[in-house]
């Protein structure tokens, strides 16, 4: 059930990858479109305010010419109508550009200019001569409005560090944050998938390299190590280990008892023998202890510690199961580093120890007689 849940989670994460890619693409497109939209708003706003300022300047100039009697009433009225026509464009820009709200004085400023221009509508549309004093005050007020609009354009809208630019960058940063979060989420998912793949690879490697019941090295792992040491001509030793009367335990107490014996013995191997070598299970109750050196005294000493730890019977329910081993050892140098001979001689030494009921470790060269038996592993 846990394995099924693990596979379901992995499949779910794989499905999330294309979804996150679509999300990143959508977030990036939103960022790009927002950038161009904000730039469009900015250019339209600057263009409309500059044109308004230009028409204010032209109206002031035309009004001064009128006061100097250098232009006619109709010409001034025409310029006034041009100025009046700019306000719908400016007000449209103010309403469509949300970042102009970051400049709190701009909207009232444009409304003031609008009201000021509107206040002269009756005079300009009249056929009578304009009041010079009123027109002079109106020109002065327009000059003040022009100066305010210019300052706003230069300091708040066009400037790179102005309030308008800061508001624009804030909008872009929000969009960039979504892109960053989507990328981060993708990296987390991909990281989890890579971790899951590495764990699965490790688990499969352990299945190949480890015996599932005992946790010792597998047959393939031990034989590969042996072949590699022979290829490198390293003077190593192997010890064949075999449980005595293991079949009787299985037949009398069942396979569960046999499994408990194997697990218990494997634990003793790991405690006593794997200090200087690697123990692998190569068959039901057969093991190989691979030692990457040829110090016989040290190997024999470790084996004696193992046999002492196995003196106490294993408690299985209300039964006590006695455990003993037969062991035969050989040096690779005496076999000319030939893997098949190493296995054959080691197996022969173990068989001799078993047949003669030796409880100590028997070395191939120390056997009283050698029976030419074929190796049980190939």
Task: Kindly tell me if the per-residue pLDDT of 22 is higher than 90.
Answer: no
Task: Kindly tell me if the per-residue pLDDT of 123 is higher than 70.
Answer: yes
Which pLDDT value is given to residue 191?
82
If one compares 17 and 179, the residue with the highest pLDDT of the two is 179
If one compares 319 and 287, the residue with the highest pLDDT of the two is 287
pTM for the whole thing? 0.52
**Backbone phi, psi, residue 239, to 5°:** -125, 120
The band of 212, judged by pLDDT with boundaries at 50, 70 and 90, is confident
The band of 338, judged by pLDDT with boundaries at 50, 70 and 90, is very high
Domains and CATH numbers, the chain: 2-178 (no CATH), 219-366 (3.30.70.270)
pLDDT, one tens digit per residue, over 295-319 is 888 999 999 999 998 888 888 888 8
Task: Kindly tell me if the per-residue pLDDT of 198 is higher than 90.
Answer: no
Dihedral class, residue 255 (left if φ above 0, else alpha if ψ from -120 to 50, else beta): alpha
pLDDT, one tens digit per residue, over 152-178 is 888 877 777 777 777 788 888 888 888
The band of 23, judged by pLDDT with boundaries at 50, 70 and 90, is confident
If one compares 375 and 17, the residue with the highest pLDDT of the two is 17
**Contact 86/48 with Cβ under 8 angstroms?**
yes
Task: Kindly tell me if the per-residue pLDDT of 374 is higher than 50.
Answer: no
């Amino acid at each position: 059930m846990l394995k099924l849940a693990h596979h379901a989670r992995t499949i779910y994460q794989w499905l999330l990858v294309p979804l996150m890619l679509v999300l990143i693409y959508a977030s990036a497109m939103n960022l790009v479109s927002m950038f161009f939209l904000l730039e469009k708003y900015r250019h339209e706003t600057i263009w409309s305010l500059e044109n308004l300022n230009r028409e204010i300047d032209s109206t002031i100039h035309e009004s001064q010419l009128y006061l100097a009697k250098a232009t006619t009433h109709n010409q001034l009225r025409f310029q006034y109508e041009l100025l009046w026509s700019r306000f719908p464009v400016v007000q449209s820009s103010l309403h469509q550009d949300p970042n102009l709200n970051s400049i709190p004085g701009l909207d009232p400023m444009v409304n003031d200019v609008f009201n000021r221009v509107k206040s002269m509508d009756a005079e300009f549309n009249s056929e009578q001569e304009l009041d010079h004093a009123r027109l002079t005050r109106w020109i002065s007020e327009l000059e003040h409005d022009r100066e305010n609009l210019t300052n706003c354009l230069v300091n708040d809208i066009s400037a790179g560090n102005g309030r308008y630019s800061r508001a624009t960058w804030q909008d872009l940063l929000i969009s960039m944050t979504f892109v960053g979060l989507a990328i981060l989420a993708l990296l987390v998912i991909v990281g989890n998938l890579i971790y899951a793949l590495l764990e699965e690879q490790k688990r499969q490697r352990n299945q190949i390299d480890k015996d599932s019941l005992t946790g010792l090295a597998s047959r393939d792992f031990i034989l590969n190590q042996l072949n590699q040491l022979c290829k490198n001509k390293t003077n190593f030793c192997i010890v064949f280990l075999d449980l005595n009367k293991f079949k009787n335990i299985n037949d009398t107490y069942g396979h569960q008892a046999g499994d408990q014996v194997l697990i218990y013995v494997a634990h003793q191997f790991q405690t006593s023998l794997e200090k200087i070598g690697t123990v692998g299970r190569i068959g039901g109750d057969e093991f190989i202890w691979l030692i990457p050196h040829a110090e016989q005294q040290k190997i024999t000493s470790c084996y004696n510690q193992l046999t002492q730890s196995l003196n106490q019977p294993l408690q299985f329910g209300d039964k006590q199961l006695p455990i003993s081993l037969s062991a035969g050892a050989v040096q690779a140098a005496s076999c000319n580093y030939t893997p098949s001979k190493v296995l054959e001689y080691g197996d022969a030494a173990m068989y001799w120890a078993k047949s003669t009921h030796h409880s100590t470790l028997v070395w191939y060269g120390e056997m009283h007689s050698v029976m030419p038996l074929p190796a049980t592993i190939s």
